[in-house]
Amino acid sequence: MHDVIVIGGSFAGISAALQAARARRRVLVIDAGSRRNRFASSSHGFLGQDGRDPAAIIATARAELLSYPTVTWLDATAAAVRGLADAFVLELASGDYVQGKRLILAAGVTDELPAIPGLAERWGTSVFHCPYCHGYELDGGRIGVLATSPLSFHQAICFPTGDRRRTSRAACSSRPPTSSRRCHAGVSRSSAAPCVH
């Protein structure tokens, strides 16, 4: 019986497991190995780790975690859970079972990319989800924002660096929803793009 079972062994799961381990709990981390940023070769904006390969960050974090003797790591997929606190039963995809008193869900999210030819191959190298993580590196070239939701407009306008005219034009391909206009107006002071509200 584990004190804590953590589903997901990436940034969130390892962080949670580390604190539990330091509280001298018996911790089991179950990880399916599909870290969200596995497509990127560098990570940015993470204090003390800027520019480092995320795989290397995770390898270090995992090694530090596993130096605690009460931590066990399982490369596996959690398939189902039943029970209540103090008596969870977790079924693995393999059909095996493990038991734990507490459960931490750190399974992350899965990016569902639009079906645009060429997009999936470029995901994490020249197509990104977040201007704060990778915008600085892209700023030397032309930038497009793929608008998949009203928040996409906000993302284009709030692009943190460089030539705001360029990002504003990209955003103008779809008109902003009302909720985005305040941000847009704030940025447009330094923008010569035609979409000033």
Ligand X SMILES: Cc1cc2nc3c(=O)[nH]c(=O)nc-3n(C[C@H](O)[C@H](O)[C@H](O)COP(=O)(O)OP(=O)(O)OC[C@H]3O[C@@H](n4cnc5c(N)ncnc54)[C@H](O)[C@@H]3O)c2cc1C
Give the CA distances from residue 195 to residues 135, 138, 154, in Å, rounded to whole numbers and listed in that order.
Answer: 22, 23, 14
Among 32, 66, 120, 193, binds ligand X (CB under 6 A): 32
Which residue has tokens 């520019």? 51
Residues facing residue 80 across a β-bridge: 91
Is 71 within 8 Å of 65 (Cβ atoms)? yes
Range list of β-strands (E), 85-197: 88-92, 97-105
Number of residue whose CB is nearest ligand X: 108
Which residues in 41-80 contact ligand X (CB under 6 A)?
43-46, 77-78
Among 5, 20, 40, 156, binds ligand X (CB under 6 A): 40
Of 108 and 162, nearer to ligand X (C-beta) is 108
Map residue 52 onto helix, strand or coil: coil
| 100: contact with ligand X by CB under 6 A | no
Which residues in 124-153 contact ligand X (CB under 6 A)?
124, 128-129, 133-134
Dist. CA 90–CA 34, nearest whole Å: 19
Of 32 and 66, nearer to ligand X (C-beta) is 32
Residues engaged in binding ligand X (CB under 6 A):
7-13, 30-37, 39-40, 43-46, 77-78, 106-108, 111, 124, 128-129, 133-134
